[in-house]
């Protein structure tokens, strides 16, 4: 396996969100990423970016979500982000006919940049405001049929159809079958009811095997990033982001994971921790922190065997000796 394959274990698919100001593009992404909704409207400035990996029943995909500003003064930036996109999500507000009418222009822009080499999804958002609806479901479906694009109505506020939107997108992406098979079989073989020594061997087996030369070349590369792998709920994610922002002074990239119900309880957490350790070493991270709890005795003993040192009540740190 080459260092390039190691650093890019999954194919990445770029999703660009387009539409008029305040139609709910950011809210859809936030609901999908963190399952939250902010009633306070804040306009997106320029371009925003987040990434999320989805484990589905028959495939695993990594989605890069590009949130674009709807204001006119940022329009000149958008074509460059459309050009290499795999999916364009064109959003309108069902309570605003103008936003619906303008979707034609957004779809035309996508076609102009990407032709037919892109999946386009027309999304009618804010179904929670059905009593103020100006655009019927049938009108949305007709436009989608006329433009030969996918269609769905959602409510970022209520969470209605948001997961369905991204699931349909993930399932529509091409060429994933060969990449999923190995990972799927590996996850199904994981057994967490083992002793500490067996768990240690399990983590070694799950670790990506690379040649020493590949590791050396990767370490010599110039990297500047923070990798965070989390297992937990929305509170874990928002707390982590806030902490990292205070420490670094910059917005950091959070690698979040959606686990389909089919795979729950089959070792996803072990895979994630191992991959995080490997990746952190490869990018020449100075240290790796894992949070735990005193009652997690087996996990804490395992951290010690892996070289982690207890720093605080709930924190174990691995120091990269190659630094």
Beta strands in the chain (DSSP E): 12-19, 47-55, 60-68, 87-93, 119-125, 150-153, 255-259, 287-291, 309-312, 315-319
* Cα 62 to Cα 24: distance, rounded to the nearest angstrom: 22
Mean pLDDT of the chain: 68
8 A C-beta contact, residue 97 and residue 134: yes
Domain boundaries, the chain: 3-172, 189-319
Helix, coil or strand: residue 155: strand
In this structure, which CATH number among 3.40.30.10, 3.40.50.300, 1.10.1040.10, 3.30.1330.100 belongs to the domain 3-172? 3.40.50.300
Dist. CA 268–CA 276, nearest whole Å: 12
Radius of gyration of the chain (CA): 22
Q: Which of 92-106, 224-238, 302-316 has the lowest mean pLDDT?
A: 224-238
pLDDT at 311 over 60: yes
pLDDT reading at 249 higher than 70: no
- Tell me the three state secondary structure of residue 266: coil
Write down the pLDDT at residue 86. Answer: 93
Q: What is the pLDDT of residues 108-139, one digit of tens each?
A: 999 999 998 899 999 999 999 999 999 999 99
> Which residue is it, tokens 């400035």?
45
Distance of CA 48 to the CA centre of its chain: 13
């Amino acid at each position: 396996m080459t260092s390039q394959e190691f650093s890019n274990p999954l194919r990445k698919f770029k999703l660009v969100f387009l539409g008029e100001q305040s139609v709910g593009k950011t809210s859809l992404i936030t609901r999908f990423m963190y399952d939250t909704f902010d009633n306070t409207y804040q306009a997106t400035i320029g371009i925003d970016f987040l990434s999320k990996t989805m484990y589905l029943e028959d495939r695993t995909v990594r989605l890069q979500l590009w949130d674009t500003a709807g204001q006119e003064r940022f329009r000149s930036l958008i074509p460059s982000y459309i050009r290499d996109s795999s999916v364009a999500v064109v959003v309108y507000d069902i309570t605003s006919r103008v936003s619906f009418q303008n979707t034609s222009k957004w779809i035309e822009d996508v076609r102009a940049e990407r032709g037919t080499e892109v999946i386009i999804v027309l999304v009618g958002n804010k179904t929670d405001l059905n009593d103020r609806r100006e655009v019927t479901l049938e009108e949305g479906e007709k436009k989608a049929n006329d433009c030969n694009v996918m269609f769905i109505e959602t409510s970022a506020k209520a969470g209605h159809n948001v997961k369905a939107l991204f699931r349909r997108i993930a399932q529509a992406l091409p060429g994933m079958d060969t990449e999923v098979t190995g990972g799927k079989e590996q996850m199904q073989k994981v057994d967490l009811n083992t002793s500490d020594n067996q768990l240690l061997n399990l983590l070694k087996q799950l670790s990506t095997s690379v040649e020493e030369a590949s590791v050396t070349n990767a370490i010599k590369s110039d990297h500047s990033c923070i990798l965070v792998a989390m297992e937990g709920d929305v509170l874990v994610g928002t707390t982590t982001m806030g902490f990292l922002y205070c420490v670094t002074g910059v917005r950091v990239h959070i690698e979040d994971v959606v686990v389909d119900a089919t795979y729950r309880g089959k070792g996803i957490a072990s895979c994630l921790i191992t991959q995080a350790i490997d990746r952190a070493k490869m990018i020449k991270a100075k240290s790796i922190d894992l949070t735990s709890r005193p009652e997690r005795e087996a996990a804490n003993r395992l951290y010690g065997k892996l070289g982690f040192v207890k720093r605080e009540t709930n924190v174990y740190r691995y120091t990269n000796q190659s630094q």
